[in-house]
Amino acid sequence: MVDAIRILSGSAHPAFAAEVCRHVGVEQCRTRTVRFSNENILVQIEENVRETDAFVIQPSCAPVSDGIIELLITIDALKHASARRITAVLPYFPYARSDKKDQPRISITARLMADLLETAGADRVLTMDLHSPQVQGFFRIPVDQLRAAPILCDHLRATRDLTNYVLVAGDVGEAKEIGGYANRLNLPIAIVDKRRDGHDEKPRAVALIGDVAGKRAMIVDDEIASGGTLMEATAFLLDRGAISVEAVAVHPVLSGQAVQKIAASPLESMVVTDTIPLAEEKRIDKIEICSVTGLFAGAIQAIHDGSSISRLFR
């Protein structure tokens, strides 16, 4: 049993965990989750995990709070079952946007998530495309951040003639990250100057840095939540002369009426990954899904073997 890999899944994204297990070539570790009438949760590990290398897969998705508690309880159960090492695998990190104290009397909740994971017993964390890179610094345990850009860029090259494309950052905050896509695809970039008042999720595009006239615009973002930024940017780019607008994003949060907005909009298509489960009713023709399960499987194997992870996404 010593050094054996055990991959466990919470209830958030079992299909993702199953694919990771298939790539790694191991059976998923059996667990049992019970939700009592008082809304308490019990998690039982149904196999021997003593002295094993355990990986718990649980992205942040609805219901977010239930998923976080289930993850913490699972990690604690593994700790008390004498797992040798526990890695929390969070394809989409919870509360990643709450990474700074930019208003009075608020929580830096991403730091709180880090503290909770460590307290529960996680020895390390594996995640993908954090909203802000400083979240890694909130931990006192190793954090490996995978990048979806190589997989998404390969998909774009395989499915599109990119000759007349321009990559667009939906706001100034995304400008740095878009450079990785531009270098891989050898494409020019533009930036939408967006302003947002409070937390109303109604951003306003006020200016454009760069040129999109006569070009096919590809908006790049780390996540699509309510779709407000995407819809505003799409209309703004078309008004500035873009002949079409598409989008590529890592995390398809797609909360509220986001899918309906996308379906009714002039946005031609949107490419996303499977870090978050996409319900069947959200799988409209405009949305293309690229799987990153193979990348996570490679990272899990590398962590287990002690080999390099960075080689997976150079």
Other beta carbons less than 10 A from residue 139's beta carbon? 17
Peptide bond into 63 cis (omega under 30): yes
Whole-angstrom Cα distance, residue 108 to residue 99?
Answer: 5
Output the CA torsion 122→124→128→134 (10° steps). 100
DSSP 3-state assignment of 124?
strand
What the block records as the tokens of 96 is 């990643």
DSSP 3-state assignment of 171?
coil
Cα 229 vs. chain centroid, distance in angstroms? Answer: 18
Best CA proximity match to 284, nearest among 303, 295, 269: 269
Best CA proximity match to 220, nearest among 148, 284, 277: 148
Residue 194: active-site member: yes
Single out the catalytic residue among 79, 194, 202, 215: 194
Whole-angstrom Cα distance, residue 166 to residue 248?
Answer: 12
The DSSP letter of residue 241 is T
Whole-angstrom Cα distance, residue 296 to residue 275?
Answer: 10
Whole-angstrom Cα distance, residue 170 to residue 198?
Answer: 18
Whole-angstrom Cα distance, residue 98 to residue 203?
Answer: 18
- Parallel, antiparallel or unpaired: strands 41-45 and 31-35: antiparallel
Q: Which residues are catalytic?
A: 194
